[in-house]
Structure formats: structure tokens, C-alpha cells
Structure 1
Amino acid sequence: MFLAGEVEESQDEPYTEENDDLYFDLPPILTVKEAAEFLRVSTHTVYEMCRVYHGKFFPHFKIGNQIKIPRDKFVEWIKNGGINNYKENVASEDSKRHTQKVRESKAENMAKSLSKNENSKKFETKEHEKKLEEKEVLNKKEASKYLGISTAKISQLLKDEKVLYTKRDTRYIIPKIALDTYINSKGQVSWQDQVKKYSEHKCRI
């Protein structure tokens, strides 16, 4: 039994001698049997060389189901190293494809890892948003996330009294109802109206 890319070794060494006189007796188009006899290998070896990597490293073509070997390319193949060179080419191709598979596997694992991290971040974001929904009052950072704007923008809204707030020491305490009122009124609500809305909902800050 032969593995992919292997060729059978006969008792005699495969023919690789560079002697142009010996090529004259070859027909213009060789059969598998004729090529095997000339190389001193089995027909199985020739078929295998035609099969591995779709015959990339052995000159041949097909007519129906029959394999034919053009003499000129066959002679050139022998002069370029024949079976020994064929083995080196197959080994090199095996190595390239293995390296490519390893790279693809690493890329796939990395993509899965990134997707997992992204899903984890989305879950954490949803959990955080859920917690914000449950809170009655928020700080500036939480308020910026609730409105989807920067903390600098929140600071400006507070300064302009567009959003109701109170302060404890240096901390801003912002009722969530005030943010909802700002959203619903599209920012067109007075401080007094915000206080009224806040009082109606009896939110303590």
C-alpha cells in the first residue's frame, strides 16, 4: 500500500540518466506502461504520480479515461530530476498546504474567540442597561450611557439646566425621570416643568 505522494521503488533504480540517444526510440506519445518501463517503476507508480495533486508534478494528459504522456515533456521532466525531483516537489507542496491549514485553523480560532468576546461584551452591555433601567437616580457617567451621549455633553446639559439634578458634595445626582423628560420633550422643557414632573413621580434624591 502506498501513501499519497509515495512512489514505488523497484529493485533497479528509476531511470534518470541524461543520454539523448536513449530518447529517440520513445514514441511521441507514451502510454502509462511505456513510461513505467522506461523509468523502471511499476505502472501503479506512474498512475500515482498522475493522481497526486492532480498530476501537477508529472507531465500527462487524458483522452477519455486513458492517460497519455507527451515524450518531449517527459524527457524534460527526467532531465529536471525525474522521480527524485517529483518527490521533493510533493514534499514541498505537502509542507505548504500543511502550513496553510495551520494558518487557517489559527485564523478560525481567533475569529471564534473574537466573536465570543464580542458576544460577552454585548451581554455585559445589556446587563448594564438593565441595571440602569432599574435605578431611580444616576450619576453623570451612567446618565451619559443612558442617553447615549458623552459625559461632556451631559455636563453641558446640566450647566444649561436642561436636565434636572442635585449635588451631593461634588457628585451629580440625576433622576432618571429627568432624563426621560428630556428625551420626550426633545430638550424643550423648562427647569420648573422638570421639577413638577419629578414631584409627580415622588422620586427622592
Structure 2
Amino acid sequence: MVEPAAGRADAGPGAEPGRPSRRRRWAILIAGGAFLAVLIVGASLAWTVVLPNVNGRGEHTRVPHALSVLDANESLDRRIASKLEVQRDTGWIRTGGGHYTHTSDAMWSAFTGRIQVNVSFHRHEATALKTGTDAAAEDMDKMRSGETPQPIGGLGDEAFGIPVTSGYEIHVRDRNVTVHTSFSAPADSFEDLKANARPMAETALALLKQANR
């Protein structure tokens, strides 16, 4: 009579030797899924929060209300300034205190549009891949493209002016913020127009620094 061999199915119930039980397999799967979820959440936070914050250290976090630039500027002829009326006032994600986190833009005109003044701020945010300063510098490069910019010293980190029809534009970058001012009016030379556009840019930069103290 042959004895039943050890390890055969008819030897008794139980898991096959060397294989984990079903309960243990489920525990391993759950633990692995939880670990993977933690990795995904951690990587997402690093990409969307940690790295942008690291890249944005020392950069401006808000911009002033563009409308305040004209009121703070003391260089524009009062006879002109008193006639200027607001034609455009934009801005979004307001933080309070007359500040915006991203963009603020304003335009004034007088004498049926013969005189026009523009001021705008644009704050570039840092991302996981680059700083806001780098993005602002790239934006300045785009504005130079196809134009004949005139370098201007003493304004922000970089600045240039562009003569346009009946006006003069000044583009400035201070860290991660670009500031744009322009003055259009009947004039004998572009230097006369620049003499009004530059003080607006200087005032805008001073207000930018105040907003980020």
C-alpha cells in the first residue's frame, strides 16, 4: 500500500509552500499603493509650490496701482496733468492697499487725445523651471525685437526707450517686474517726449519698491 506523499493536495488545507496568503498579498498591494500616492503628492507639491518658492526668493510679490503713478509724479507739467482724464484702469487679483499681485495698467488722455500717458506693471511669477526674473528678461527681449531701442541707464536692472509716432516709450525691468511708460503729444523732438516719459518710469519704480517693503 502506497502512503500519501507529503505536500500533495490531499495532505490537508493551507497555502502552497513559498506563496504569500491572499490577505498578505492585499496588504502588500495597499502599502505599495499608499507609498506611490505619497510620492505623487510629494512630487506635485515640490513642482507647484516648493520649487517656484525657491526660484522666487527675493523677487517682487506685488505691483502698485498704476493710477497712483500720475498722482505721485511731480515732474509732469501741472497744466497738462490737471487736464488728463482716466481712459483705462485695469488690474486683477487685488491684494488691498492699492496693490495688485500681477498686473496693473492705466491710460490717461487730454485735449481730445492729443496728449496720452500710459503706465503698466507686469509681474512675472517664478515656476519650477525658472525664476520670474528670467521670464521678465525674456519679455524685455521680445519687446526689443524688430525695434531700434535706445539703452537708458539708471533705471531698474535694465531699461531702453523706443521712439514711436508722436510719442516715446520706456521699458524697464526691475527683478521680475516689467514697467512700461509712454508719453505721446505734439513735440519738437523725441527728447522732449522722453523728458516726460522718464519721470513717470522713475516714479513707477519708486512705488514698486514701496509696495514690496
The answer, yes or no, to whether TM exceeds 0.5 is: no
Relative contact order, higher structure (CA 8 A, sep 6+):
2
Larger radius of gyration between Structure 1 and Structure 2: 1
TM (normalized to structure 2)?
Answer: 0.33
Structure in which a larger fraction of residues adopt helix: 1
TM (normalized to structure 1)?
Answer: 0.34
Structure in which a larger fraction of residues adopt strand: 2
